[in-house]
Amino acid sequence: MAAQRTGAPSTAAAPALPSLGGRRSSYRERVADALRAALIAGELRPGEVYSAPGLAARFGVSATPVREAMLDLAKEGLVDTVPNKGFRVTAVSERQLDEYTHIRALVEIPTVVELAATADAVSLEALRPAAREIVQAAVAGDLIAYVEADTRFHLGLLALAGNAHLVEVVRDLRKRSRLYGLTALVEAGRLLASAEEHLELLDALLARDERAVREVMTRHLGHVRGLWAARDED
């Protein structure tokens, strides 16, 4: 097990969480979203204990909204509470990650392929800013921004199918995933190519090219347990 972090994280080991401004009433949800992204990106590591004050210092807010957000994540099974210390990130097995990815492929690929025939061009173009944010985050090496923009893009795309329950199923699967290879991809300068697949997918959808959409989606989801998971792809 990795060493515990119960105080303020050190500069070298601390996750690069974003500073949050705006209304205090929005802190809890915004902090929770950023923490989920940090979990998915692997910047908060399984088995390690993080204190609310330590994480709060990274957000530039008080410990209260961070503690509340972590309790929300505990309800989702993403962290466990550690009395008088903080929150321990729950571990996810390789088998679980494979199962999550398999379900996502079964759900997302045919749904997105169908959108090539059913989604209107205006709705598809409305997703382009999120796709560009993903690319910008990849260039900047900002993994939390990358995961947040990636989530908005894919859930927004699936929402065009008109099945709200499907979107929630995929949202839950994404929360439970871990993409430990993202840091290595940034360091190797390889994350940008994966980020640009979002723009490639949009172009294929707008061209009504179902074959190309299927190819891009299959390749893209393959990264979840390949490049992004820090292991060889099949």
Residue whose tokens read 């090496």: 141
15 band by pLDDT with thresholds 50, 70 and 90: very low
Burial (CB count <10 Å: 0-12, 13-18, 19+), residue 154 = buried
Nearest to 107 by CA among 221, 231, 233: 221
190-195 mean pLDDT: 85
Query: pLDDT of 105-139, one tens digit each?
Result: 999 999 999 999 999 999 999 999 999 999 999 99
Hey, what amino acid is at 56? A
Residue 180 has pLDDT above 60, yes or no: yes
CB atoms within 10 A of CB 11: 6
227 band by pLDDT with thresholds 50, 70 and 90: low
164-176 and 94-118 helices, crossing angle to 10°: 150
CB atoms within 10 A of CB 172: 12
| Residues near 61 by beta carbon (within 8 Å), at least 6 away in sequence | 20, 24, 27, 31
Residue 42 has pLDDT above 80, yes or no: no
13-33 mean pLDDT: 59
Q: How far apart are CA 194 and CA 207, in angstroms?
A: 20
| Mean pLDDT rounded to a whole number for the chain | 83
Query: pLDDT of 209-220, one tens digit each?
Result: 999 999 999 998
Question: Tell me, what's the pLDDT at 51?
Answer: 93
Q: What is the pTM of this model?
A: 0.77
12 band by pLDDT with thresholds 50, 70 and 90: very low
92-100 mean pLDDT: 87
Nearest to 71 by CA among 87, 60, 85: 87
